[in-house]
A and B are shown apart, each in its own frame.
Chain A
Amino acid sequence: MNVWLSHHLYALLLALKRLSRNPFPSLLSIIVIGIALSLPAGGYMLLGNLQSLSGHISGSPQLSLFLAMDSGSTDISKIGSRLKQHPQVSSFNFVPKDSALEQLKQGSGLSDVVDSLSQNPLPDAFVINAKNSDPVVLESLRSELQKWPKVDHVQLDSAWAKRLDSLLNLGQLAVLMLATLLSFALVAVTFNTIRLQILTRRDEIEVSKLIGASNGFIRRPFLYFGAIQGMTGGIVAWLIIALGIYLSNDALADLASLYTFDFRLQHLSSRDCLSLLLFSTWLGWVGAWLSVTSHLSHIEPR
């Protein structure tokens, strides 16, 4: 068999053996790692769901374009044809000022007040559906329309989507910071686990060095141990999130039905899951590497 491969296989088996020989402490550190990872990963999962929710609600972003009071029917048809040709506009609807007043009269219960007005205070308006829901694109469309002649005011009806979006950005930043902090915690946990292992295996390490083991040979099982522990912690984090979703989904569905839409939390995508596992494996490896590097040199046979 290939020497390199057999060395790695040996190290892997040894790491698994060590992991299973002390199941309780191993389990505890794995759970600690899992919980630490589940916080940022769970936050990321929530953010992803909120993002898809906001996209779902503001699926057809609308702008209201109010014309100047003195605009006539030629201005209206001119703007209508310009809107028809605009690439960002998917459809639009003209609301004449009279029908707007009529709507106000019926919808608000202010008919007495409206009747007492000597003239219609409302402008003619267009309600525009944009093609793109990206808040940046919408904003540039808004300012562009604003500059057209005889346009008094353009209002982005989905301004709240923009607010939600920046709120989500903030949330993303918070998750990132949490992930960074807890990554350090994970590295520290692994560092300590491996340190204890090295101390309890001092004799073995010393004898191995005396009979010709290279540093790589001694280091490898510890690195595998750290990586396996990190990976298992990642799996535990995934399970914790899955459990959280399972427990809250029914209640969420009830809540969402009150607002007449269908909403269920989705778990991380398979790509995100893979990233989570790879990242936790890598962190475990790093913690083990740091620990082995700083402790192994102290064990020199005498």
Chain B
Amino acid sequence: MINFSNVSKRYPNSYDALTKVSFTIESGEMVFVTGHSGAGKSTLLKLIAAIERPTSGTIIVNGQNVGALKGGTIPILRRNLGLVFQDQKILFDRNVFDNVLLPLQISSFDPKEASGRVRAALDKVGLLSKEKAKPITLSGGEQQRLCIARAVVNRPSILIADEPTGNLDSDYAHEIMNMFRSFHQVGVTVLIATHDAALLGGSQDRILALDRGILTV
């Protein structure tokens, strides 16, 4: 489902963010990417969504060579991914409902069906009662749940989250992590980058450990 082979990424005038990284994630797996900040976790996730292009190596996502995608086909790749960003990227000029609706508008859902899907996604993350609220009035944990609802409303086959518990206390963090596990249980491939080892639920989770751009596990 996701395959990296000998992928390197060097930013212009900078160090190698990733060096010859190879791995395969099967459909339906739940995988954690760990490492210190600056280890290349975010870069790895950005490469999957074609936000960054690899300097060398090939990346296959859902059978597509991501590095070779032309500009016009990137949106189609991204519509099949659910992305939770490190900096959240919530739109504060619209309410919770409209934030979650945006991905469906982009893939031109029927409006009636779309609002049903938005409510379902908000219900799943426990924000249904706040659908009319402005995001600025939500707590940090609620904002993060809003991001998750927006990522899953399109029912993507792959869910990618970059430090989804980054600025949350441990109770909230576990709550969020259980949410990801429940998506995993219904068959979604889940890929989470985190520096917080306490979140890893023991041996059953697969871990990709990065150290200064090199895959160590």
Tell me whether B91 is interfacial, beta carbon within 8 Å: yes
Pick 18 A–B contacts, CB within 8 A, sort by A: A6-B108, A6-B110, A7-B108, A203-B89, A204-B91, A204-B93, A207-B89, A210-B78, A211-B78, A211-B79, A212-B75, A212-B76, A212-B77, A212-B79, A212-B81, A213-B106, A214-B72, A215-B72
Residue of A nearest to B92 (CB): A203
Pick from B49, B76, B89, B108: contact of A3, CB below 8 A.
B108
CB of B135 to closest CB in A, whole Å: 12
Complex Cα–Cα for A7 and B108 (A): 6
CA distance A217 to B78 in the complex (A): 14
| A1 contacts partner chain B, Cβ-Cβ < 8 Å | yes
Chain B residues in 8 Å Cβ range of A1: 110
Judge whether A25 is part of the interface by a CB distance below 8 angstroms.
no
Give 1 or 0 for each of A185-218: 1 = CB within 8 Å of chain B CB: 0000000000000000001101111111111010
Secondary structure dominating the interface of A: helix
- Determine the residue in chain A with the shortest Cβ distance to B80: A212
Which residues of A does B touch, CB under 8 Å? 1, 3, 6-7, 10, 203-204, 206-215, 217, 301-302
Inter-chain contact B91/A211, CB cutoff 8 Å: no
Contact of A10 among B51, B78, B79, B105 (CB under 8 A): B105
Q: Please give the number of chain B residues whose Cβ is less than 8 angstroms from any Cβ of chain A in the complex.
A: 25
Chain B, residues 104-133, CB within 8 Å of chain A (1/0): the string is 011110100000000000000000000000
Residues on B with C-beta less than 8 A from A206 are 89
The answer to whether A208 and B102 touch across the interface, beta carbons within 8 angstroms, is: yes
- In the complex, per-residue mask of B70-102: 1 if CB is within 8 Å of any chain A CB, else 0: 011001111111010100010101000000001
Report chain B residues within 8 Å CB of A210. Answer: 49, 51, 78, 83, 85, 89
CB distance from B113 to the nearest CB of A (A): 11
Closest 9 CB pairs of A and B: A212-B79, A212-B78, A214-B75, A213-B106, A212-B75, A211-B103, A207-B89, A3-B108, A6-B108
B91 and A203 within 8 A (CB): yes
The CA of A209 and the CA of B75, in the complex, are separated in Å by 7
Set of chain B residues within 8 Å of A10, measured between Cβ atoms? 105, 108
